[in-house]
Structure 1
């Protein structure tokens, strides 16, 4: 508890600098809500892949859209990419587990706000989505997507302590992203003949409680992995080289 209390205190310092960026978050959430409202009827009927792709892109943007430039992951030295803010705090008498824990608080807060606004807003205005899922399973659907978003979005705060970027690192990173989207298309659109978001609607409808439990368990495991990855990186990197 003491670790989390100190982590929240560190996150509050960053929040004071990032307040205006939350207005940008609300603006982005509003745009995506409108987009999903427009595309939901044809998506539920024809499984349009574009909605699934933009939903994943939206999730990825939430973790860093609220970060001022000096807090963002960027090149610091030859081959070292990290957050200058983390590098600075690492020189102070702050326990590393506190520092690492603090990196996840604001990104996850932005995910909580952003996903909730988009899904609740789309559900409120889309009669088609209301027909596809009842209010109680809709709560399960929101929890499922929060867990998916925490799992995917955790890669960004986990990267803040830094990585040694080699010659082809960015190339392989882009290749992984391409393979991810191609794989998602083949699995859901071709094999299962449905959309990813539509598939989660079916899970929430048919296995409401089980889907909540499994989503939370998987998200906890993935977040634990991201936290431990960040701890290893902050111990390994030399920010004074």
Structure 2
């Protein structure tokens, strides 16, 4: 089953592969430029706007890595899904194989950007002076876990959503903004310097615990979203 899922994922990745690599490169450059330009002020005083940007990009920026033709989009009057998933869903392929292929494709797109970003991030003078080696590994794993855990909503969503209206999309957007605000705001109320600096200090003070917890969060979150995708596929008939 995994072998077939890998083949499906690689088959899709090779289609418009240049756009995928270009999108990865542009996001990587944008993140590094933003980080190098702002990390000094963030370390000194925090930065609410920058915390929003960092968290939003790591958690939900995966959508920008996928060529438009393959993105979650409107495929019928009130159904949103991945067009490729709909095509493959009509073929005699096991549902588990299809779902696993969505997550493998997600890893192929997301992990190289995250890995290269944290390699490049380390060479910022402010960062190399701020971290111990163990602390930086822990910090990287923590933000890896944010990217892969929150980002897993995208392959899970590829299976489709019924009865999606403009009103529902507006409420989803409001919910995401509210959720990010509720997550970040307490780091200024109780810690003063915000989310990014808090994660830096946690990683430096407890590198082992932060690393272990981050490595546990990734499979737990991904397992949940795989289960979510399977459950929705069982409940709904997404044939067009």
TM-score tier by shorter-chain length is over 0.9
Counterpart residue number, 1:179? 178
* Partner residue, 1:150: 148
Give the 3-state SS of the residue equivalent to 2:239 in structure 1: coil
Query: How far apart are 1:206 and its partner, in Å?
Result: 1.3
SS of 1:164 mapped into structure 2: coil
Aligned to 1:8: 6
Judge conservation of contact 2:59–2:146 (CA < 8 Å) in 1.
Answer: no
Q: Deviations over 1:142-195 (max 9, x none)?
A: 111111111110111110000113443212211112212321332112222122
Unmatched runs of 5 consecutive residues or more in structure 1:
none
Moved more, 40-49 or 135-144: 135-144
- Measure, in 1, the Cα distance between the counterparts of 2:146 and 2:183: 14
Report the CA distance shift for 1:134/1:52 in structure 2 as closer, same or farther (over 3 A).
Answer: same
Aligned length: 238
Q: 1: distance between equivalents of 2:110 and 2:142?
A: 13
1:62 shift after superposition:
4.1
CA distance in 2, matches of 1:209, 1:4: 32
Between 152-161 and 100-109, the greater mean CA deviation after superposition: 100-109
Q: How far apart are 1:60 and its partner, in Å?
A: 4.2
Q: Is the 8 A contact 2:23 2:66 kept in 1?
A: no
SS of equivalent to 1:98 = helix
Q: Does 1:53 align with 2:46?
A: no
| Structure 1 residue ranges (4+ consecutive) displaced by more than 4 angstroms after TM superposition | none
Unaligned runs of 5+ in 2: none
Are 1:162 and 2:193 matched, yes or no?
no
Name the TM-score, length of structure 1 as normaliser.
0.92
Q: CA RMSD in A?
A: 1.7
Q: Alpha-carbon deviation of 1:12?
A: 0.6
Deviations 1:37-61 (Å, cap 9, x if unpaired)? 1100000000112222111232245
